[in-house]
């Protein structure tokens, strides 16, 4: 069982927006601004899409955005494109004794 | 461009020790950052195993801590993973990755991953 809770699936049509949630506790998501989101295609390594809750690495389209409210972080993908179909994982810092925790992942389907 | 490459046996027998090495190019481990291992069982999610910095300071997943050792060899610009007493539950794709320190605390460069199967 993963430390952070994500919906197993999400979907949307091209051009629409989809939001994926990531729920933790005050010991991880709620306690730190070190929340990141990763995109993973089948058979490939994950790629960071969002870090520090809202920041985008260079090269990541601005269609991807992040936010946080209390113990829940969210990833929003606007203007969905076929290439956005992938698995998405959230991750958070959870203190010095367990620095890295992940969500179980969400499979995003573009209809 | 920072590149990481995992290497090691693809098949390990139950109760034996899994050993993997991650060779880093394009960046000197001695220059900073943390360097870590993660894994992903077939069809399942990501799990962080542990991280190390150039000074040898380590952090481990509490659920694996008793079986895990991560070490660094700055002269070869590589770091390694040892996981003892493996079982079928340790079958996974193992990734090495560079980890950005606080406040970021995320992995920015990843290896391609290597599948390790635990089976007799």
Contacts of B46 in chain A (CB under 8 A): 38, 46, 89, 91, 102, 105
Would the pLDDT of A3 be above 90?
A: no
- Cα distances from B8 to residues A30, A46, A90, B21, B113, in angstroms, run 38, 20, 28, 6, 11
**CB–CB of A99 and B48 under 8 A?**
yes
pLDDT at A59 (0 to 100): 95
- Give the integer Cα–Cα distance in Å for B44 and B49: 15
A81: closest CA of chain B, how far (Å): 24
Taking a C-beta distance cutoff of 8 angstroms, is the pair A22, A102 a contact? no
**CB–CB of B48 and A2 under 8 A?**
no
Dump pLDDT digits (tens) for A47-82: 999 999 999 999 999 999 999 999 999 999 999 999
pLDDT at A96 (0 to 100): 81
Query: Could you tell me which chain A residue has the CA closest to the CA of B110?
Result: A45
Task: Say how many residues make up chain B.
Answer: 120
Q: Which residues of chain B have pLDDT under 50?
A: none
Query: Could you tell me which chain A residue has the CA closest to the CA of B95?
Result: A45
């Amino acid at each position: 069982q993963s430390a952070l809770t994500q919906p197993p699936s999400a979907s949307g049509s091209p051009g629409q927006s989809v939001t994926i949630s990531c729920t933790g506790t005050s010991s991880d998501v709620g306690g730190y601004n070190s929340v990141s989101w990763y995109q993973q295609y089948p058979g490939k390594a994950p790629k960071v899409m969002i870090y520090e809750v809202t920041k985008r690495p260079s090269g990541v389209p601005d269609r991807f955005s992040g936010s946080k409210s209390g113990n829940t972080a969210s990833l929003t993908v606007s203007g969905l494109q076929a290439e956005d179909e992938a698995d998405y994982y959230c991750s958070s810092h959870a203190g010095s004794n367990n620095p890295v925790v992940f969500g179980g992942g969400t499979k995003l389907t573009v209809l | 461009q920072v590149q990481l490459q995992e290497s090691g046996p693809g098949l390990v027998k139950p109760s034996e020790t899994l050993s993997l090495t991650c060779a880093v190019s394009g960046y000197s481990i001695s220059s900073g950052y943390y360097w870590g291992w993660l894994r992903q069982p077939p069809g399942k999610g990501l799990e962080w195993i542990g991280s190390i910095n150039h000074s040898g300071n380590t952090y481990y997943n509490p659920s694996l801590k008793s079986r895990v050792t991560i070490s660094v060899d700055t002269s070869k610009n590589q770091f390694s993973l040892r996981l003892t007493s493996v079982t079928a539950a340790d079958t996974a794709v193992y990734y090495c990755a560079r980890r950005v320190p606080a406040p970021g605390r995320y992995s920015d460069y990843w290896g391609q991953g290597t599948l390790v199967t635990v089976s007799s």
